[in-house]
Every structure is written in structure tokens, then in C-alpha cells.
Amino acid sequence: MSRDLGSRGLRGLGRWALVTALSVTASGCVVVHGEREVLPATTRAEAAEALEEFTAAYNKADKAYDSSLDAGHITGALADIDEARLKAGRANSPEGNASHTPLELTDAKFTIPKKAGWPRWFLADAAGNKGGGSRWLLVFTRNGLDETWEAAYLTLVAPDDIPEFRTDEDGWAEAVPADSAEPAVPPGELSEDYTTYLKEGGNSFAEGPHTSEWRALRGKKSSRPGLATQYIDEPVTNGDYAPLALRTEDGGALVFFTTRHFQKQTAAAGASVPTPNKDVLALTTGEIRQSLTMEFVSSGVALDPADGAVEILGRVQGLTSAQGE
């Protein structure tokens, strides 16, 4: 498993946002010369088994606030978010999660691309008993036949926002290469384009809660009496954080991608930084005197059309560390 978040930049402050993560263990299908042949990533039966084991492992970890119980079954952005969530939970409740409610995923649908080489991956789309009626989109990936399927991406999306995927006569989907010029933005460039948009604005992304509305909210929070907030956003595209994309029926792509976000609050002389909640404090190092910086990792999914503005359909963001100064 390869996990490379790249260089560490400015660390920043923001509102605690942690969402449940899941985990899975399942043996993949046996393929011959899988590194060269264009083959389905797995079978539908094995994908269903992976989702079941994934859910069971998540529930064990969530109940005990113990990241070791699902550490071998998640990777990438989802692993960063889940590990930090469980670390904070255990720090504040060493005996475990007293409010644990088992996650249940039903009505699962699987979109399995047919491709050559590694990683192999597939999308699970399920209804959950958490998330307010949104569909749970989970991307499972692995880099070899002997590896366990791991969940790299989790996002929650409104049912009506999920596009139709292009499939062949046998129902297998099509993976879109990172450098494909067919969507409006090549999937490999989406993380960088999104972070650039958050800084500079523009028309490359459709308006919505994760684009124009988020930028407006940041603008309001950037300068308040006695308190200044700085924001820095970074693309993340290496290893298990690499974008993964499926061809949609209309020729565009549904792209799963990772970004990292930093927020820093600095109090003016004679003022103080607002006291964060206990979950933030559990992940904070150093003493909060005049500033608090926090780092977040975001798991996002975007509808990247053949032509036009990219629409961010969903985004799960989790605090991974904080620094007081």
C-alpha cells in the first residue's frame, strides 16, 4: 500500500468535520496476466462480499474507538479521516463509543470497470441508515492479487445526482485514464484545478455548496474583530490518493479525488483564539496561545462533463491534525 500526502504546508484552523469511514476485507477474483489483460477488476459476488466485510470492520472499530480494527482495510483519504476520528474518540472516551450505532448498508449496486494493469478498483453505491438519505459511494482498490481490497474514497451523494455509467454488453464499466482529454478537465488535473479555483475563483466549477458557497463563507470568516483566518489548499494525487474516474453515459466522467486544506486562526494582541471542542483538542499538539492551525483531508467526487463546468457532487472532509502556538 502506498500512501504519500506530499509536502506539508501551512497548517490551519477550521470547523471540526469528521464523517464515519468504513473498511473491507475480501479476496479478489483470480485473473491470468492481470497486469496486461483488459479484465474486470473483480466479480459482482466478490464485490458484495467486500462491502459486507468492510461494513463489519468499520463497526468494530467505531464501537471500540480502535483504529487497529480497520487499519488494514482502508487507505488514502479515507484512512486519514477515519484514523483521526477514531484517535480523537479514544482520547475522549477510552472505554469505547457509548453512542455507537451499527452502520447498515443496503440496496448495494456495483460498478466494476474493465481495465488492464494496477490498481484494480470498483465502486460500491449503497443506501445507509446514516447520512440523511444520501447514497454512500465507496471506492475499493488494490494493487495486486495478493492484496486485500481497501476503501480509498467515501462520499455521500444525493440519489438523483448519481449519473448513468457507460457499460459494455456484459455490464462492465469503463475506467477513464488520468490524462484523458475527453472530459472537460483531465481526471489527473482535477485536484489541482479545484484548489486553484478555491483560491482564485472562476467559471471552471459550477456553483454550489462545495464551490461558490464555500468560497463566500471563507470570505466572511477571513477577517473578524480580533481574529484573522488564513486558508491554503493543496492538491493530492500520489499513490493511494490518485484520482479514479468512471466514464458516464454522456461521455463525461465521475471522478473521485483528494485535496488537503489548511486553516489558521490568529488572534490579535489582547485577544484569544476561540476554544476548540474536545475532539479538536485531542488532535492538537502545542499550546494554543495566539494561533491554532488545523489540517484537513477531503475525499471528493465530481461530475466532469465532456464540455462545461465541473460539478462537485459530494465531499467528506476530516480533521487530521492541529497545532497550537
DSSP 158-208: -GGGPPPBPB-TTS-B-BPPTT-SSSSS-GGGHHHHHHHHHHH--SSB--S
- The DSSP output letter for 309 is -
Residues β-bridged to residue 257: 300
Pinpoint the alpha helices (H) of 14-154. Answer: 44-64, 76-92
The mean pLDDT values, 10 residues at a time, for the chain of 325 residues are 41 33 34 67 95 96 97 95 98 97 97 95 97 96 91 97 97 97 97 98 97 96 92 97 98 98 95 94 96 98 97 98 97
